[in-house]
Structure 1
């Protein structure tokens, strides 16, 4: 009869935790974080939306989880060359050999063993380097995720402002269409206009009313999207403050300079470069994964039954040389080589995408500058036209005051859309160069 028990002491940084305890701790932390968030001010400014966003956004939690997983992989790789201690207790009863001098049947024993890998011809070093580089990549991806979250909040905030301006435009148009239809009814009763003319104005009013209702729904939807982007679903703001117009006097750098800056500092590109180097280190590790290993072992033991072969203390230098792996070594090298080629291809694809994004954004800024200047001229014209329409209205002369006011609302919407596109383009350039969140550097 034999009873065997062994205990292994994990390497540094390795902790075991019951899954349900971890879930409870994570849930409690999320609830505590949510309760600590300051209430949203009314009206809400863009700076407030960025500052009061929840740090527990799902995308950020996912990036943090990947970073922690990379850190755990590094700890696991480092533990390969760490000390390993095991304890073994054996309760054993034997039938002694007829030649044995010691006839005791109790052959129980206890052992404590210490083992350390001393040299493995570069395998553990390459494995640790691969894990470290993968961790670097996860940190750059976390920065990229934070920048993406900031851009999403900005875009969602601007969409709320645009939804309000669009509602103002459609509300003006609906009011004008209602007045035209109401006057047409009076003229129709006096038989001054035909049925066709009346129905035409009634249809125009119904169309304007439908557009107004749609934009009113868009106001609610835009606010919901902003709340979700901030990680505060259900907290819909009533009023937002439009940001100040952008400064168009600042020159936009040349395309070649922008591209050079982005290719040198883009966080996701740095992550992909780290992936390439990590895959290259994995390939080196795979080539040595079935190589010789030199280890040191020390063991202390206690025996109930002492013989010539039972020793209380042993120390050994062990050399392990694999002779045949059944093709596993070739398969490991082939898989690692494929991962390296895949990571290199992803980096090349991302470089092409960056070139396209930088050029597209640079051209957009150039076009937006012209658009905003044109809107400024159009605004001067519309203001003068509105003043003339008001003057004619006060003189009780037939005028298109309602249409003029609608055009002013439409102009404000177009100006805001172009200004927000400019600000988003500038923010995207900063994000591509990894400078949207300077505090994260």
Structure 2
């Protein structure tokens, strides 16, 4: 009776606390993907850097204006030293560089594309991480509730045994055994309590609220767990064409090709238009106060600079190509493992968990009937074991939701249509 009263008071206290606390939903947690989390900020800064490089490449064809001057003196034929100062304003506009600028811009465009795909991949990974941290909190809460029930049962058994020991009904070793079992369960329950705190901290960091730990979470419906999934043979080419990491590396390969073309174009001539307005301290018939013309530059010898840059870029391109090939191998294995996990969770894992719940529900009803008839006192144990069966079933659904989220991330955000599936 005392235990039932305390249980009722505890339930009321928890209900009042839950009513006052702000409840966090999975959709609200996933909305924090757009928050300035460090992972996102790193990806955004790399994208901003790529865009800045694009603007720099485009500025190669910009008009330039600069002041050119010198302070000097010179000796005339008559033997006198005279000042020969020069001041000029020069305006110059590149007309043709025969591939340098256009290829540099093309390379910069591909780098921007690669960084955009990388940012999308970070968003997908953040979404999966938030879901995992959210489910960890729910599982930690359920495990704590079950362990707390096991601890209550063990304490009652030990407490009753102390009275029986006083009247000589049980031996001291038997009493010590019950106390040991209680202490072991109590330790497991305290560890579960700590996991609740740790899981909430990881979730708070994942949703970029490190100073505010979520108190209560709403159980998600996970309607998407029933969506149809394509076969491996259908999904593999889709993943190879849509995966953001593959697209990013392919864009980097295209950028390498454009950079190689821009480097090779360093051997080509350049043509600039130039307008000069100048002032001179010494008059001369060979000097113009204003002039305009075309400046044609033909590289004749540049040493080994161009060849060294080409060699470096070719090495970088080979590395990127190797990373792309390895990524395709890894993604094909990951895709197969994810599809197999989904099939296993939807098949035998769900069935086993459902049967476990069915059996535990029956055992709980039987324990409740025996408790009411005062035949046995294992009602608390049956309630805790029922909670463990429910935890197992929830874990299946959480793992299934994460597997489907990973599958969607591998596919670039969208799965291909499944033949025969309802729209």
Shift of 1:322: 2.4
How do 1:183-202 residues align onto structure 2 when only pairs under 5 Å count? 183-202=160-179
Aligned equivalents of 1:94 and 1:56: distance in 2? 61
Which position in structure 2 is the counterpart of 1:326? Answer: 303
Residue 146 (structure 1) aligns with? 123
Displacement of 1:138 after TM fit? 0.6
Runs (4+) off by over 6 Å: none
Contact 2:274 2:295 in 1 (8 A): yes
Q: Which residue of 2 aligns with 1:406?
A: 384
Residue 172 of structure 1: aligned partner? 149
Q: Which residue of 2 is the match for residue 397 of structure 1?
A: 375
Does the Cα contact within 8 Å between 1:154 and 1:424 map onto a contact in 2? yes
Which residue of the partner structure matches residue 314 of structure 1?
291
How far off is 1:400 after superposition? Answer: 2.0
Q: Does 1:73 align with 2:53?
A: yes
Distance apart, 1:373 and its partner CA: 2.3
Q: 2:156 & 2:34 partners in 1: Cα distance?
A: 46
| Structure 1 counterpart of 2:331, from 354, 364, 375 | 354
Paired residues, number: 395
Whole-Å Cα distance in 2 between the matches of residues 423 and 277 of structure 1?
Answer: 36
| CA distance, structure 2, for counterparts of residue 182 and residue 53 of structure 1 | 50
Shift of 1:350: 1.2
1:343 CA displacement: 1.0
2:24 is matched with 44
- Name structure 2 gaps, 5 residues minimum: 1-19, 416-423
Mapping for residues 27-426 of structure 1, pairs under 5 Å: 42-52=22-32, 55-90=35-70, 92=71, 94-99=73-78, 105-246=82-223, 249-370=226-347, 371-426=349-404
8 A Cα contact 2:144 2:192, kept in partner = yes
**d(CA) in 1 for partners of 2:247, 2:145:** 45
CA gap of 1:140–1:52, structure 2 versus 1, over 3 A, is closer
Aligned counterparts of 2:96 and 2:231: Cα–Cα separation in 1? 53
The answer on whether the counterparts of 1:49 and 1:230 sit within 8 Å (CA) in structure 2 is: yes
Distance 1:224 1:130, change over 3 A: same
1:325 CA drift (Å): 2.3
Please say if residues 21 and 215 of structure 2, whose CA atoms lie closer than 8 Å, have aligned partners that are also in contact.
no
Aligned to 1:34: none
User: Residue 397 of structure 1: CA displacement?
Assistant: 0.6
Deviation for aligned residue 1:106: 4.3
Shift of 1:304: 3.2
Contact 2:33/2:123 (CA < 8 Å) preserved in 1? no
Q: Offset of 1:41 from its aligned partner?
A: 7.2
Once the two structures are superposed, residues 175-220 of structure 1 have per-residue CA deviations (whole angstroms, 9 ceiling, x without a partner) of: 1111111122222222222222222211111111111111101111
Instruction: Give unpaired runs (5+ residues) of structure 1.
Output: 1-39
Q: Which whole-Å CA distance do the structure 2 matches of 1:347 and 1:293 have between them?
A: 36
Give, in whole Å, the separation in 2 of the partners of 1:423 and 1:54: 21
Task: Summarize the Cα distance change of 1:326–1:95 in structure 2 as closer, same or farther, 3 Å threshold.
Answer: closer
Specify the SS of the correspondent of 1:289.
helix
